[in-house]
Amino acid sequence: MRERIKKSLLPIAGKNLTVEENKASLEKRRKKLFLDLINSLKSLTDRSNFLSIDIGIDLHTFEDVHYVIIERLIRETWGDVAADVIFWWVYEVVDPKYVEFFIMEEETGKKYHIKTPTQAYNVLKKLKLFKPL
């Protein structure tokens, strides 16, 4: 996105132009990435489970190496606590509309009710549990 903006402004501002993304835009992009990541991983996991359970095609051995790589990248990008929440949501949360799920703040013991990945993101952000940008 920066390059596209820079190219369009280059004739007006000259070669020494630098374009920086503001914090709100970075935050919006980070949130979208988080939500897309959770939804994509959930979809992949559901599809893999369907193939294994309903069709009888077990791809888990093949997929394991890919998931190890993905897990490492997620931990490096988001930090351990956020990664744990991502994996918890993808692998353990089945139907948040009918079962109560919480993220608990360790220091105070306060519980935050979670029904969507967006709520999980907002709680992680509020508690400052993401790895800094």
> What are 20-32's pLDDT values in tens digits?
778 888 899 999 9
Round to whole Å and give the CA distance between 44 and 50. 10
Q: Give me the pLDDT at residue 83, please.
A: 96
Work out the angle between the directed axes of helices 80-91 and 23-50 (0-180°, nearest 10). Answer: 40
Question: Mean pLDDT over residues 37-54, rounded?
Answer: 90
Q: What is the C-alpha R_g of the chain? A: 19
Instruction: pLDDT band for 96, please (50, 70, 90 cuts).
Output: confident
- Which of 30, 25, 28, 19 is closest to 132 using CA atoms? 30
Instruction: pLDDT band for 17, please (50, 70, 90 cuts).
Output: low
Query: Which tokens belong to 7?
Result: 């190219």
Round to whole Å and give the CA distance between 60 and 65. 9
